[in-house]
């Protein structure tokens, strides 16, 4: 049955970023605006006084329905460097266990005068539900929902790639490992295709690639060596412990043998290839220590850029 | 009490009759001769058809009265032109004891609206382990036996249950889904689920279980009605099974004839259904199968869900959609899109459904029960919560403009619904 396509819930009536829920559906101009805005913020983080007053008097609520230290901390730092007040709520262990519904929790916090909600939730799509119910002046930033999206991670990956490679339109990027469960992979794939990367590859065993993944605009490789050939960027994904032994994979050892990144395999990529990882890493499972700490690795700069990118996203939505 | 329905367009799918004329009703039955009426209903401009027979409508009693009550849902049924409905056994407790079935039928009878045909649980508590007392349940009024949305995991139990049902000639109604393949899934395993990051249920979860079921039909000779097909391959399998002469029939939920995975949009939890909405190719095959008769019936699969249970992230939202009041307009929409004659369109919810249910109604013929619906096929209306009598307002069609509005519903010669408000 034909249906008018629903209004893009991320954009306001002027086509500006109202919420950041997913990279999918965002026009190229907005992605570039975020990356450009992040550039000077990367400088702020290196200054002695690491603060700008862009969000003074605004409140950022970190609403984490799923435990996370790293992502929550980077959002907290980003908000503080913008001079916002930050309130951290670890909802995973408070109201939800008392049976309060997701929307009731949000309504309560909204009554405490929030400007930005940073939301992480175990269920894909939860930030969309929240975005539909917040007040017009409130903004929702998705900090990871189920397997769906992790847009600020995707953006910081894009920022990192742009920083080292400048031009997206001549790159070959490989994403390796557990794409099936990865919100990071989905967000990055949408970002790369939107910014005109001509070849995005995903590499993994069939059990870790979702049905119809080609429809996202990627080439599928099951053999890592052929998949890495002549790549400019290699993005390794984290393999969760609980998925290492079972019906998806027989063992971490066998996974490492076929899909772990070693210096030997990396040699098949371009000589100036960069290696990325969203962290936290499993050394010896998806990546060998010599590569993680080696000259191609930009894993730690990713973390630094992540703060600048999150500052950019927060300051943009808060000003729209 | 003698009733005359005057000057309507009489559409009787069973005989193919489609003409303007009068229908006489006497003592609750269609009368073959012209009689002096106590009451006359002017049906000019309306279609007069057999009342709809819905093979799957959840009334939520016993156990889920906060979602809906028997009264609200029986109101919804007749407002939708449904005069007979079969209700699946997934109540709380499930319909696995004669006492529960008996109580449900009595309560429905007191309300005096649509006729209610309970479908009994095939296994105790629908747990898939122990058979229910099917003969006792049949005596209490169960017309068939089913697992509702709790497909059997154990093929041994399925085999024995089918053998036992076949012993007494009871039909078994089953939705086919391999439980381990479907485990944890909430959407069709395809492009949309991949994009939205939703755990998928592959199409072969349905067809593998259907293959098993068809083999067991060959082995046991049990009469089987396959509920809620959702895939193109399953339609093909049923087509072949019928050609082979197996005693199988099947139905499709009316939502699956119109919607596909694309309609999930940005996580519209109203599209969280069981089975999941599948690809457009599947949807087209279901609509075509319903037209050529491979799929015998369309059902509402009415499932009232309260708003709180839908205002959740997609995967956590309770599955199901309200449907009793949308079955007729959605069926008409399907028939119009395929350019089918009205009689053929309506057959899928009247005479064909009556055949599967094993009841006399579903046709306009002298001596049969006077269960009729009078509707205006041209009247457009917009689906909105306040337009629905069901306590469940949960439908993916909210905001849609649909054609076809029921004016009067008659059960056993009594007007049980009148849109003008006099019933």
Domain assignment present for residue B399? The answer is no
pLDDT band of residue A100 (cuts 50, 70, 90) is confident
Evaluate whether B299 touches B249 at the Cβ level (below 8 Å).
Answer: no
CA distance B208 to B381: 41
> Would you state the structure tokens that stand for residue B353, as one six-digit string?
């459904």
Chain A residue with minimal CA distance to B261? A1
Q: What pLDDT score was predicted for residue A69?
A: 85
Least reliable range by pLDDT among A3-7, A228-232, B252-256: A3-7
Residue ranges of A 202-221 with Cβ closer than 8 A to chain B: 210-213, 215-216
Average pLDDT over residues B35-48: 94
Strands A219-221 and A233-236: unpaired
Q: Please, are residues B131 and B164 in contact by the beta-carbon 8 Å criterion?
A: yes
**DSSP codes, A103-161:** HHHHHHHHTT--SEEEEEESSTTHHHHHHHHS-TT-EEEEEEETTTB-HHHHHHHHHHH
In a domain, B383, yes or no: no
pLDDT, mean over chain A: 92
Q: Which of residues 239-258 of A touch B (CB under 8 A)?
A: none
For chain A, how big is the Rg over CA atoms in Å? Answer: 19
Quick check: B41 and B408 in contact, CB under 8 A? yes
* Confidence (pLDDT) at A126: 95
What is the torsional sign of CA B174, B179, B181, B185?
positive
CA proximity to A270, closest of A232, A299, A308? A232
What is the arithmetic mean of pLDDT over A224-239? 97
Prediction pTM value? 0.94
- What would the pLDDT profile of A27-60 be if each residue is shown by its tens digit? 999 999 999 999 999 987 777 777 899 999 999 9
The whole-number average pLDDT for the span A182-186 is 97
| A59-64 sheet: strands from edge to edge | A85-89, A59-64, A116-121, A139-145
Residue scoring higher pLDDT (A89 or B330): B330
| pLDDT tens per residue, range A233-268 | 999 999 988 788 788 999 999 999 999 999 999 999
State the average pLDDT over residues B64-71.
Answer: 85
pLDDT at residue number A3: 43
Chain B: nearest CA to A19, how far in angstroms?
14
Range of the domain at B342: 50-364
CATH number of the domain within which B116 lies: 3.20.20.140
d(CA B232, CA B229): 8
Helices (H), B41-127: 70-79, 98-111
Tell me the average pLDDT across A59-71: 91
Spatial separation of the C-alpha atoms in residues A312 and B226, rounded to whole Å: 55
Shortest distance, CA A64 to any CA of chain B (angstroms): 15
**Across residues A207-218, what is the average pLDDT?**
95
| Residue A211 to residue B190, Cβ atoms within 8 A | yes
Is residue B213 within 8 A of residue B176, CB to CB? The reply is yes
Instruction: Express each pLDDT in A286-306 by its tens digit.
Output: 999 999 999 999 999 999 999
Determine whether the interchain pair A1/B266 forms a contact, defined as Cβ–Cβ distance below 8 Å: no
Per CB-CB distance under 8 Å, the chain A contacts of B263 are: 1, 3
User: Would you place residue A174 in the very low, low, confident or very high pLDDT band (cuts 50, 70, 90)?
Assistant: very high
> Token pair of B24, please?
């006489």
- What's the burial of B195, exposed, middle or buried (CB within 10 Å: 0-12/13-18/19+)? buried
The whole-number average pLDDT for the span A105-110 is 87
Distance of alpha carbon A178 from its chain centroid, rounded? 15
Residue found under tokens 């049906």: B43
Average pLDDT over residues B264-271: 96
B196–A123 C-beta distance less than 8 A: no
Any A CB within 8 A of B266 CB: yes
Chain B positions in Cβ-Cβ contact with residue A146 (cut-off 8 Å): 197-198, 313, 315
Quick check: is B272 in a domain?
A: yes
Q: Which two tokens stand for residue A41?
A: 């913020």
Q: Which of A101, A124, A211 sits opposite B314 (nearest CB)?
A: A124
* B141 phi/psi in degrees, rounded to 5: 125, 5
Mean pLDDT over each residue of chain B, to the nearest integer: 96
Q: What is the pLDDT of residue A51?
A: 87
Please give, rounded to a whole number of angstroms, the shortest distance from the CA of B313 to a CA of chain A.
5
- Pairing mode of beta strands B39-42, B17-26: unpaired
Question: Total domain count for chain B?
Answer: 1
Cβ distance A102 to B267 less than 8 Å, yes or no, reads no
Choose the weakest-confidence range: A112-116, B27-31, B277-281. A112-116
Quick one: pLDDT at residue A298? 98
pLDDT at residue A283 is higher than 90: yes
Longest dimension (CA), chain A: 59
- Tell me the ipTM for this assembly: 0.91
Q: Could you tell me the maximum CA-CA distance found in chain B, to the nearest angstrom? A: 66
Domain contains B238: yes
Give Cα separations from B380 to A263, B332, B340, B377 (angstroms): 68, 12, 19, 8
A28-149+304-319 shares its CATH topology with A151-297: yes
Indicate if the pLDDT at residue B356 is higher than 80: yes
**Catalytic positions of B, please?**
301
pLDDT at A1 over 50: no
Confidence of residue A4 (pLDDT cuts 50, 70, 90): very low
With CB atoms and an 8 Å threshold, state whether A124 touches B196.
yes
pLDDT in tens, B361-408: 999 999 999 999 999 999 999 999 999 999 999 999 999 999 999 999
Beta strand B29-31 with B39-42 is unpaired
State residue B23's pLDDT score: 97
Q: How far apart are CA A202 and CA A231, in angstroms?
A: 12
A151-297 is classed CATH 3.40.50.170: no
Give the residue from B199, B313, B321 with the most A CB atoms within 10 Å of its CB, the best one to mutate. Answer: B313
Q: Assign domain A28-149+304-319 one CATH number from 1.10.1060.10, 3.30.300.20, 1.10.3720.10, 3.40.50.1370.
A: 3.40.50.1370
Does A101 contact B308 at a Cβ distance shorter than 8 Å? Answer: yes
A/B interface, count of CB pairs below 8 Å? 81
CA angle, residues B422, B301, B143, in degrees to nearest 5: 90
Strand B17-26 versus strand B29-31 pairing type:
antiparallel
Rounded to a whole number, what is the distance in Å from the CA of A275 to chain B's nearest CA? Answer: 25
Instruction: Give the per-residue pLDDT at A112.
Output: 86
Give the closest of B202, B262, B313 to A129, CB-based.
Answer: B313
For residues A167 and B44, what is the distance between their CA atoms, to the nearest angstrom? 72
Of the CA atoms within 13 Å of residue B39, those in its CB half-sphere come to 10
Domain layout of chain A by residue ranges: 28-149+304-319, 151-297
Q: How far apart are CA A275 and CA A266, in angstroms?
A: 9
Span B249-253, mean pLDDT? 98
Say how far residue A127 (Cα) sits from the centre of its chain. Answer: 14
Q: Do B197 and A186 touch (CB under 8 A)?
A: yes
What pLDDT is stored for residue A96 in this prediction? Answer: 59
């Amino acid at each position: 049955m034909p249906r008018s396509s629903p209004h893009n819930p991320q954009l306001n009536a002027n086509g500006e970023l109202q919420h950041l829920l997913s990279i999918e559906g965002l026009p190229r101009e907005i992605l570039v605006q975020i990356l450009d805005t992040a550039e000077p913020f990367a400088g702020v983080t290196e200054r002695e006084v690491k603060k700008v007053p862009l969000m003074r008097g605004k409140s950022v609520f970190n609403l984490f329905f799923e435990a996370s230290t790293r992502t929550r901390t980077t959002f907290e730092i980003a908000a503080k460097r913008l001079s916002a007040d930050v309130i951290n709520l670890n909802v995973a262990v408070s109201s939800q266990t008392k049976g309060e519904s997701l929307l009731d929790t949000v309504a309560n916090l909204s009554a405490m005068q929030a400007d930005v909600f940073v939301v992480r939730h175990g269920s894909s799509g939860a930030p969309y539900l929240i975005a539909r119910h917040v007040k017009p002046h409130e903004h929702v930033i998705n900090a990871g929902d189920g397997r769906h999206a992790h847009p600020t991670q995707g953006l910081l990956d894009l920022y990192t790639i742009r920083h080292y490679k400048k031009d997206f339109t001549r790159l070959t990027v490989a994403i390796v490992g557990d794409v099936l469960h990865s919100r990071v992979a989905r967000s990055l794939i949408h970002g790369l295709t939107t910014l005109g990367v001509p070849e995005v590859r995903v590499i993994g065993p069939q059990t870790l690639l979702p049905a119809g993944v080609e429809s996202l605009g990627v080439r599928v490789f099951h053999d890592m060596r052929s998949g890495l050939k002549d790549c400019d960027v290699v993005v390794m994904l984290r393999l969760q412990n609980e998925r290492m032994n079972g019906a998806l994979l027989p063992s971490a050892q066998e996974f490492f043998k076929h899909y772990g990144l070693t210096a030997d395999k990396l040699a098949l990529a371009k000589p100036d290839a960069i290696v990325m990882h969203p962290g936290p890493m499993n050394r010896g499972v998806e990546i060998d220590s010599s590569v993680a700490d080696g000259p191609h690795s930009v894993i730690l700069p990713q973390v630094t850029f992540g703060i600048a990118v999150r500052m950019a996203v927060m300051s943009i939505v808060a000003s729209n | 009490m003698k009733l005359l329905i005057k000057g309507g367009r009489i559409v009787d799918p069973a005989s193919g009759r489609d003409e303007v004329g009068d229908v006489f009703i006497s003592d609750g039955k269609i009368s073959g001769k012209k009689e002096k009426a106590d009451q006359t209903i002017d049906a000019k401009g309306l279609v007069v058809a057999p009342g709809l027979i819905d093979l799957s409508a959840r009334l939520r009693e016993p156990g889920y009265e906060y979602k809906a009550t028997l009264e609200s849902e029986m109101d919804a049924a007749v407002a939708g032109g449904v005069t007979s409905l079969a209700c699946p056994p997934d109540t709380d407790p499930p319909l696995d004891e004669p006492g529960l079935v008996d109580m449900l039928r009595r309560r429905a009878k007191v309300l005096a609206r649509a006729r209610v045909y309970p479908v009994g649980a095939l296994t105790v508590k629908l747990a898939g382990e122990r058979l229910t007392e099917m003969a006792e349940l049949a005596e209490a009024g169960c017309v068939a036996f089913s697992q509702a949305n709790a497909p059997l995991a154990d093929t041994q139990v399925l085999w024995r249950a089918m053998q036992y049902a076949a012993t007494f000639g009871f039909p078994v109604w089953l939705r086919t889904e391999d439980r381990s393949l479907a485990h944890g899934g909430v959407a069709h395993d395809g492009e949309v689920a991949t994009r939205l990051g939703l755990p998928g249920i592959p199409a072969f979860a349905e067809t593998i279980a259907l293959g098993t079921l068809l083999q067991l039909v060959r082995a046991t000779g049990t009469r089987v009605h396959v509920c809620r097909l959702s895939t193109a391959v399953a339609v093909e399998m049923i087509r072949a099974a019928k050609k082979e002469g197996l005693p199988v029939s099947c139905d499709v939920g009316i939502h699956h004839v119109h919607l596909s995975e694309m309609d999930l949009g940005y996580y519209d939890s109203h599209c969280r259904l069981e089975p999941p909405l599948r690809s457009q190719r599947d949807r087209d095959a279901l609509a075509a199968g319903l037209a050529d008769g491979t799929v015998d019936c369309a059902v509402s699969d009415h499932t009232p869900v309260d708003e709180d249970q839908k205002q959740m992230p997609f995967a956590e939202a309770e599955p199901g959609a309200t449907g009793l009041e949308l079955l007729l307009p959605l069926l008409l929409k399907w028939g119009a899109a395929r350019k089918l004659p009205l009689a053929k369109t309506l057959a899928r919810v009247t005479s064909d459904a009556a055949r599967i249910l094993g009841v006399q109604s579903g046709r306009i013929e002298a001596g049969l029960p006077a269960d009729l619906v009078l509707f205006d096929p041209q009247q457009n209306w917009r689906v909105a919560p306040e337009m629905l009598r069901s306590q469940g307002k949960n439908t993916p069609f909210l905001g849609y403009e649909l054609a076809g509005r029921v004016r009067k519903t008659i059960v056993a010669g009594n007007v049980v619904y009148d849109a003008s408000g006099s019933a």
